[in-house]
Amino acid sequence: MDEALEAGVTRIVTIGCGERSSMQAIEFCEQFEQVYAAIGVHPNDADSWRRADEEWIGELAQHPKVVAIGECGLDYFRDRARPESQHKAFITQIGLARELELPVMVHTREADDDTLAILGREAEGHPVILHCFSMVNHVDEVVERGYMTSFAGQLTYKSATDLQEAARRIPPELLLVETDAPYLAPVPRRGKPNRPAYVQFTVEFLATLRDEDPDDIAKLTSDNAGRIFGWAA
């Protein structure tokens, strides 16, 4: 935590991807003032989705530092859960997010069309965060719907030219940054386990892409996070 604070990180949202990890996320919240939690069931685990998942999500979401439902969504890249199971778990968690009045944090991989279709039907008018943004072919639709776009360390990779162009086009009020730790460490830490402190490199790279000052991008994305997650900027 000291390393993150020294890098200018003042708040962290840690993600639960099932009951056990969601409970651990809340434990971290209680240990560290700067940490908040998102809770839910990852699409890769959707084959095990059961009614009890709705119950524990609803119960844990009563904790005052739970700020989102997710990450939930669709993942057709990894063949770990049937699409029909993923759809059911995703739709149910969107419903819970609406009921609980919390934003929904979305994981999508090689499933853009189905993800957008479900969000269009189930989440109209509700706050949506596209975690680890990758929908480079749907930027106009994403912007029109007002979804928050969260950019992780792969934005800094030399091969990510389409993603970089998307980051230039996103309106400032829809921009977020993240680490997706321990994955997707940005350049110059690529290949190492990612850490919250490394988000500074993504901020600096995003500022260069948009021809803006890094301090301004840091403040902008922090303010956006405060708005979507409901804490004071």
Looking at the predicted structure, is the pLDDT value of residue 160 above 80?
A: yes
Looking at the predicted structure, is the pLDDT value of residue 233 above 60?
A: no
Q: Are 11 and 36 in contact (CB under 8 A)?
A: yes
Q: Are strands 66-75 and 128-130 parallel, antiparallel or unpaired?
A: unpaired
Looking at the predicted structure, is the pLDDT value of residue 5 above 80?
A: no
Q: Are 155 and 206 in contact (CB under 8 A)?
A: yes
- Residue 231 is predicted with a pLDDT of 85
Q: Are 150 and 120 in contact (CB under 8 A)?
A: no
Place of tokens 């004071």: 232
Give the whole-angstrom CA distance, residue 128 versus residue 115: 12
- Residue 6 is predicted with a pLDDT of 80
The pLDDT of 143-163, averaged and rounded, is 97
Q: Give me the DSSP letters along 73-136.
A: EEE-SS-SS-HHHHHHHHHHHHHHHHHHT-PEEEEEES-HHHHHHHHHHH-TTS-EEETT---G
Local structure of 231: helix, strand or coil: coil
The pLDDT of 39-67, averaged and rounded, is 97
The pLDDT of 134-155, averaged and rounded, is 98
Looking at the predicted structure, is the pLDDT value of residue 171 above 80?
A: yes
The pLDDT of 215-225, averaged and rounded, is 97
Instruction: Work out the pLDDT band at 232, boundaries 50, 70, 90.
Output: low
Instruction: Work out the pLDDT band at 227, boundaries 50, 70, 90.
Output: very high
The pLDDT of 210-232, averaged and rounded, is 94
Place of tokens 């199971």: 85
The torsion defined by the Cα of 74, 79, 81 and 85, in degrees rounded to 10, comes to 50
- Residue 115 is predicted with a pLDDT of 98
- Residue 76 is predicted with a pLDDT of 96
pLDDT digits (tens, 9 = 90+) for 54-87: 999 999 999 999 999 999 999 999 888 999 999 9
